[in-house]
Amino acid sequence: MVPASSNFFVTTKKNKNQVHFEDDGVWPLKKEKWFLYKLKEGNYYKIDSVQNASMIFTDSTEVSKTESYKIGFLDQCNSYSKLSDSASSIYLDVSLPDELKWTSASPFSSQKVLNYEIFHMDDSSGMLSKLDEVSNNNYKLDLSPYLGLTNFVIKAVSSDIDQPASTSNIQSLDIPSTIYIPTAFSPNGDGTNDVLKFTGKFKTKDKFVLKIYNRFGQQIKQINNFSETWDGRFDGKDLESGHYLYTYSVIPENGPSTHKSGEITILR
């Protein structure tokens, strides 16, 4: 039987898998047609064919998991080759809230994966920024620089320096608003920590409501804007030193609301 071709790799582009291949010259006769086989229910089935000129198969199925492929060809004497070794797409997923994980099967038919590169993808420009490089198939993200819909991509680098890298699907995370409320402030006019103010990351379309209560359960302040501050006064008078309870809610444009409570101390 005609020997199998061995030089191809799988990559993902625009949420569809592409199989890139080339004639490795192991069979001297002209190849009339190439065939793509896909693993389904334990067997490889032919799903596409191309003439020599193309050298790229695109799987029309939208990416939802890793997929395994083999290729074969028909030569000018109508002889079919053996099927190649398999190669699999990299499927990137997320283990919430901040860990990326991806499949470890090699996307290269004849090379091993040397390492994986983790990239952040800018949502508007599509530009990639490299975050790190690892040898395993999971990565703990630092989400502090990001807010809102944020995209990540994995690239597998081959042990062969001449082999193009294989790219995973794009994985999007919706990074929520994060509010940090101080445990105390000192509105005594010394210019240091005189007002209660909030830090963190806040989406402009999210709604923010914070209510502050005295020890009798009376509401003494309501804040409806993340950038708003409070000087520790109620009805125009300074509140005495002590502990005050608060509750706050972050209501996003889409998705579930966040509700939390705590205690803040006024120091004079």
Residue 208 confidence class, pLDDT cut points 50, 70, 90:
very high
Instruction: Name the residue among 70, 68, 72 with its Cα closest to residue 1.
Output: 72
Q: In the prediction, which pLDDT does 53 show?
A: 61
* pLDDT tens, residue by residue, 131-151: 999 999 999 999 989 998 899
Per-residue pLDDT for 1 more than 80? no
Is the Cβ–Cβ distance between 83 and 43 less than 8 Å?
no
Q: What CATH topology corresponds to 8-175? A: Immunoglobulin-like (2.60.40)
CATH 2.60.40.10 residue spans of the chain: 8-175
- The structure's pTM equals 0.82
Do the bridges between strand 199-201 and strand 237-238 make them parallel or antiparallel, or are there none, so unpaired?
unpaired
pLDDT of residue 110: 87
Domain 178-266 has CATH 2.60.40: yes
In tens, the pLDDT along 81-131 reads 999 999 999 999 998 789 999 999 999 998 999 999 999 999 888 899 999
Summary mean pLDDT of the chain: 93
| Sign of the Cα pseudo-torsion (65, 70, 76, 80, in order) | negative
pLDDT of residue 9: 96
Write the secondary structure of the chain as one string of H (helix), E (strand) and C (coil): CECCCCCEEEEEECCEEEEEECCCCCCCCCEEEEEEEEEECCEEEEEEEECCCCCEEEEEEECCCCCEEEEEEEECCCCEECCCCCEECCCEEEECCCEEEECCCCCECCCCEEEEEEEEECCCCCCEEEEEEECCCEEECCCCCCCEEEEEEEEEEECCCCCCCEECCCEEEEECCEEECCCEECCCCCCCCCCECCEEECCCCCEEEEEEECCCCCEEEEECCCCCCECCEECCEECCCEEEEEEEEEECCCCCCEEEEEEEEECC
The predicted pLDDT at position 256 comes to 82
At residue 23, what is the residue type? D
Identify the pLDDT of residue 263: 96
Are 129 and 155 in contact by the 8 Å Cβ rule? The answer is no
Summarize pLDDT for 223-266 with one digit per residue, the tens: 999 899 999 999 999 999 999 999 999 998 877 888 999 999 99
User: d(Cα 244, Cα 233) in Å, to the nearest integer?
Assistant: 12
Residue 54, pLDDT > 80, answer no
Split at pLDDT 50, 70, 90, the class of 24 is confident
* pLDDT for res 139: 97
pLDDT tens digit string along 173-203? 988 888 999 999 999 989 999 999 999 989 8
Question: pLDDT band at residue 23, thresholds of 50, 70 and 90?
Answer: confident
Q: What is the mean pLDDT of residues 200-225?
A: 93
What local confidence, expressed as pLDDT, does residue 5 receive? 83
